[in-house]
Amino acid sequence: MARKIGLYGILAYFLYGLFFYWYLFYFADTSLPFEYQGTMADPATFLNGRELMLSEEFSRIRNLLFFLAGPFEWLFYLFILLLGLSRIFKNWAVSSAKYKWLQTPIYLIWLSVFSFIASFPLSYIGYSLSKSYHISTQSFASWMKDELIDFWIGYGWLLITASVLYWLIRKSAKRWWLYAWLLSVPFTLFMVFLQPVIIDPLYNDFSPLKNKELEAKILEIAEKADIPADHVFEVNMSEKTNSMNAYVNGIGANARIVLWDTTLNKLSEDEILFIMAHEMAHYVEKHIYFSIVKSLLFSLLGLYLAAKLMNWCIRRFGPALKIPSIQDISSLPLLLLLLSMLTFVSDPLSHAISRYQETRADRYAIEMTRDAEAGITSFQELTRSGLSQVNPPFLVKFFRYSHPTMLERISTLEEYAVKEKRRKE
């Protein structure tokens, strides 16, 4: 049974990868509809021939890596179970520590190390791809540092959640998923509060914006939006990437307005003010809080389904997966596999909600700045710096895009500019 499951798993992954390779490289049509050709949304009007070619190449390979990464993680967890490695990790933990409270951390370090090693090739290919297309400017040493920070943060998160989850499972095998979700609510809010001041600085250095004249103008917009911020922060991202970003994160007194230095270097003042008005719209329209609620609702449904599916899998395939019971820590890879699959399935709905919020934020920025031209040129520069596709394939947008496509964003701004011009005439 274990051999058959493993064979089917490899075959399914191969066919899945083959389908997306065919879809992205041979089937998907990314050309613009006729009515958009020659408009400001047409990449041929603001990208040269080489940039057009590179954006298509880069996007296809990057999208293929995305579609391969998730199912590869599922295949990894599946083989950790089928080969009995999860049970071996548990036995090593038991033989290494006589105290039970030490056994879970030891089990998890083995699982985390094997996961890191298995996922490293795809991660490195992604890094090399960005480097070769001049998106990333990060040295290998700096990239590895970030990877190791990710590893230890991930391990710490896994240690906390797995310890609590399996304690709850042993206490209540039927309702552990509900108790776990209830505990996740205050923890999620706590993490959102800490993110700007604890987590983000582990990766990059933040400092007050040096351009005080620009800071005053941004804070003026922030005051209109009732954002409790006394400073605008800039972060030195040019040592890692050529792409651009800006954001407002945190809640309450911990709200932070942040600009990447690449954004400061590549965009004009009017373009920066448009981007910042867009980001502040998320705060004004409470998108941060809606996102928290959405995340909690999705996690409630996800934990419930994972619990049901986990019980079914153990009843049906327990011996093949080398899992004696749901209470056993060796069942953790199965839980992680199921949660990852459920996340993948739910992402399209989550992204659709996010795209709606981003559309609202674009409209807010237009109304706040009355400068559609600055919005158009900023989106054009974002496309150029990230080698993004203006009109991505349907499945890419469906599974990947948390923002509207650049075709949609730029054409909306262009329509607004035309209407404003007619109104003034």
CA 59 to CA 89: how far, in whole Å?
39
Using a 10 angstrom Cβ sphere, with 0-12 exposed, 13-18 middle and 19 or more buried, the burial of residue 320 is: middle
Task: Say whether 73 counts as a known binding-site residue.
Answer: no
* 278 annotated binding-site participant: yes
Tokens encoding 408: 């949609």
- Per the CB < 8 A criterion, the answer to whether 275 and 378 are in contact is yes
Measure CA 260 to chain center.
Answer: 18
Residue 388 DSSP one-character state = -
Calculate the CA 297 to chain-centre distance: 18
Q: Which residues have a catalytic role annotated?
A: 279, 362
The helix-helix angle for 332-369 and 372-386 (nearest 10°) equals 150
Cα–Cα dist 265/263, whole Å: 5
| Strand extents, DSSP E, 68-121 | none
Kind of pairing, strands 232-235 and 256-260?
A: parallel
| 231 belongs to an annotated ligand binding site | no
Measured in whole angstroms, the distance separating CA 321 from the mean position of its chain's CA atoms is: 30
Residue ranges for the binding site? 278, 282, 358
- Known binding-site residues for Zn(2+) equal 278, 282, 358
